[in-house]
Amino acid sequence: MRTPRTGVLTLAAALAAAALTGPAASPASAATVPVGAGSYSDTRPPGTSGPTTNTGTPVTPKVTPAAHGKPVPTNDWWSSLAFQRYGDNPYSTPMYGHPLTYQATSAGLDIGYPTTPAVVGEGRQYEYAHKRDLTLGLTGLNSPDTKADAWSDWTVTPYWSDGARTLRATIGHGLPFVYAKGTGGSAQVTTASAPTVFADQGNVLGITVAGHHYALFAPTGTDWTVSGSTITAGLAGKDYFSLAVLPSTSALATYKKYAYSFVTGSRASWSTSAGTVRATYTLTTQPQEGTETGTLQALYRHQWLHTTDPLTPYTYVSPRGTMKVRESRTFTTTQRAAGVLPALPRASGTDTARLRGYLNEVVSAPDPFSGATDTYWTGKALGRLAQLVPVADQIGETGTRDRLLGLMKGRLQEWFTAGGASEFSYDRTWRTLIGYPASYGSDTELNDHHFHYSYYVYAAAIVAQYDPAWAADSAWGGMVKTLVRDAANPSRTDSAFPFLRGFDVYAGHSWASGHQGFAAGNNQESSSESTNLSAGLVLWGAATGDTTLRDLGTFLLTTESEAIAQYWFDADQQVFPSSFGHDTAGMVWGSGVAYATWWTANPEEIHGINVLPVTGGSLHLAARKDAIRRNIAEMERENGGPAVEWRDILWEFQSLADPGAAKAKWDAGHASYTPEQGESKAHTYHWLTGLDTLGAPDPSVTGDLPTSAVFTKGTVRTYAAHNHGSTARTVTFSDGARLTVPARSTATGTGTADPTEPGDPGPSTGSTFQLRTGGALTTATGGTAGSDTIASAGGANHDGTPYQPLVYEARGVTGTLKPGAATAFRLQVDAGTTVALGQQARISYDLTGDGTFDRTETYHYFATDPVTGWEEYNQTRGLKAATGTLGHLRNGTVRLEVWPAIGNGTARLQTGTDRSVVVIPYE
């Protein structure tokens, strides 16, 4: 636990590392290690601590000789295997792999499959807590400890040895199997209660324990023996056996096929192109007998929503909602990239004189850093100043801009130089960079490095935008990259820092605790401070020409954005159990979520902690405006009225969905509030008046430059992009709009209905189809706005099956399929004041016009709100089902069907405008 604080506490984690300059495998023995113009220390300052147990005893990584020398990814779902935070537990705390849960003990690996949530803490937390169903081990095993023997992107292999016996067991996210290798004893599984045997095939045994079905697999030619709660099998001179949790007893034959194809590693890879992020998740396997090298893996919701790869009918329960099973070693997800801007573009609704006055309040303060000394609060202060630099520049306040830059450079350089009151120190034992003075366990528990360092990286990126020489490796850029390597390292071969210390590529988000020493697993509170690091990477990479770090930031931000929507905000209302009773979570745990923070039960801070800091990297939150509205409504219910303490953070959050309503709250309350400590009235005023003028961010339209965004107000789109480069470039958006951006500048352009108008970045007439009343899809523009009526579902459930659909078609379509591209759409729908309606869309392709649809894509339905006004249904709801494959269109047909999936009442679908369109993935 942390010491509670006022303001912002963030328990949690460190992301880790991006490999360029900085510590070598064995840092120099000198106390100061130079990095460009800066330096770090290789010894801690006097009187400070590094990683310790809870009693203050120094602790070293608990790894086997085979893993010595490998940087330990401390902030992970399994970190308690390696970080013995509690001195009386040399094994592990519960580890949540999903669908299985695990805990190491002296006898081996306790395994559970929690399927029923418990709501605890007066309804403020739900958890699928680890509960042992059985223990996998060897006969006679009594190990004094458990160590980490090997690990990869989302798998780990614990190791046990008692001198006579050794056991290794590979486990991981999404793995329904546990793959064991043992010597010195027979395979042994001990169940928590007497098992029921449902299948006995000698070396393959199917059992049911506590209502959960498991299969045990021993080498061919051996036999399992059941004696009460103890099940054993001799290994016949072999060293392998495995276990699987089954979705049903009928799945045994399928799982048996892969029981001896042992997973040996896991790896994620990613690429960004044309506003799209593709990520591929691959397992490596090694057959122990036979030749089968395939496997089964369970995908989290944030993954299966964004894959078109075939999935089996098998599913599992998890704290993250339903997991779906894929029969393959690999799968790929495709998402619209989350864009980042250095600041919102200048807007006509912002009064320059008033903004100038607010800026002067900041730069004229006696101490712009508000007394901050430790890594976290110094970072917050740097972030507050960094937000104002582009704002001052926009209105020609170059003197204020340069004063802000000077303040930031001075403080960054203090921290980036060893030997002063503040510095960074490299810990050889744990392969980590720790800032001193430390805070909230960033030293003793290795918590929160990604939170703290995000502000330094973001601030440095803003400095680099205006002073590239400062950001050179030979100047201060080397130290920035060293912090990045600690917190978000994309390199798996860097011996000084681990790969992505705290970002869990399979879970889709970061973890905050360095030791994971909790019964509920690891946790993350402030997901928004995690994405602050990702946004900082985008801006730093763009400003310095480092496309590797820029694209890493885009991948991390885009991936975590969907995880936040699903697991913190329950955007689809498909993850939180109905018994929980909340629409948002302050903290996500391995076992579930909590409507709480580490330091307060104040609803404003529970809701706001996953919003701050509000920056040009926060625009991704606007993808789910319905979730924002529910979030704000719940906060006000729990709070007994609108925000009082963190007004600015929550106004800014609301503005991502309803800019006018948020601006009205500012107008009523701006004179009587104190800014949150990472905020300023200057930034809040600029943000709220900017979005009130431009409209809410529209993440459904993306640009092919990571530093771009789109805003929509009514029927007008504003396209914005910042070009860090030294020459002008044209940014192309996913709706076909184009925007020319001068060198080292931000530019905006406004879309109209006529894309042929000079200078107009309107929608493309090649692949964007508008809906017309009467059933046509057309590339023509300039239509008359109208609407069609979506029938009532009559109280029945038509999820996945068209019912009285509205049908729109384009015939005679010819186009070349874009590699890696996917269908997109945005449909404006309105249920009026009717509650509990849901509309669903299916898009089909007849590639040759022969009357047979070769590819159909059915999307999850969109639950409309009972508030009059258009809402946007788009492809980010995710595919529910897909059949067939896309190919080139040759005089083909494209069809859109929209129907009522649920509810008892009609709704409207907007036609005749560029706000209701289908975008096909064709040139």
Query: Catalytic positions, please?
Result: 448, 525, 529
472 HSE (CA, 13 A, CB side)? 8
Contact 837, 877 (CB under 8 A): no
Contacts of 234 (CB under 8 A, 6+ apart): 186, 187, 218, 222, 223
> What 3-state class would DSSP assign to 752?
coil
Closest C-alpha to 227, from 244, 246, 207: 207
**Rounded Cα–Cα distance for residues 149 and 155 (Å):** 11
Virtual torsion, Cα 599, 604, 610, 616, nearest 10 deg: -130
- Identify whether the C-beta of residue 487 lies closer than 8 Å to the C-beta of residue 17: yes
Q: Determine the angle formed by the axes of helices 527-544 and 478-488, rounding to 10 degrees.
A: 140
Token pair listed for 79: 């970190």
Helix H or strand E segment including 542: helix 527-544
* Strand, helix or coil for residue 744: coil
Percent helix, strand and coil across the chain, each rounded to 5? 25, 30, 45
Q: Could you give the CA distance from residue 354 to residue 343 in angstroms, rounded to a whole number? A: 18
Contacts of 839 (CB under 8 A, 6+ apart): 790, 827, 829, 861, 862, 864, 873, 898, 899, 900, 901, 907, 909
Which one, of 618, 663, 667, 672, lies nearest residue 645 by Cα? 672
- Residue 118's CB is within 10 A of a number of other CB atoms, namely 14
d(CA 620, CA 341): 11
Does residue 144 have a cis bond before it (omega within 30 degrees)? Answer: no
Distances (CA, A) of 287 to 152, 240, 295: 18, 11, 10
Quickly list DSSP for 79-124.
Answer: GGGT---STT-SS---EE-SS-EEEEETTEEEEE---S-EEETTTT
Q: Please give the structure tokens belonging to residue 701.
A: 């339209």
Task: List the beta bridge partners of residue 160.
Answer: 146, 167
Q: Kindly give, in sequence order, each residue whose CB lies less than 8 Å from that of residue 804, ignoring residues fewer than 6 positions away.
A: 791, 899, 900
DSSP 330-392: EEEEEEEPPP--SSPPP-TTS-HHHHHHHHHHHHTSS-TTTT--SHHHHHHHHHHHHHHHHHH
CA nearest neighbour of 810 among 775, 854, 762: 775
Backbone angles phi, psi at 58, to 5 degrees: -55, 145
For 681, which DSSP code? H
Q: Tell me 768's DSSP state.
A: E
Beta strands in 742-878 (DSSP E): 745-751, 768-772, 776-778, 786-790, 806-815, 824-830, 838-846, 855-859, 862-863, 871-874
Residue 379 to residue 884: CA distance in whole angstroms: 51
Both tokens assigned to 158 = 């614990």
Contacts of 737 (CB under 8 A, 6+ apart): 701, 717, 719, 749, 751, 761, 762, 763, 764
**CA pair distance 347, 394, nearest whole angstrom:** 10
Amino acid, res. 836: A
| Contact (Cβ atoms closer than 8 angstroms) between residue 388 and residue 680 | yes
For 245, 295, 418, 866, the CA distances from 328, given in Å and listed in that order, are 17, 5, 50, 42
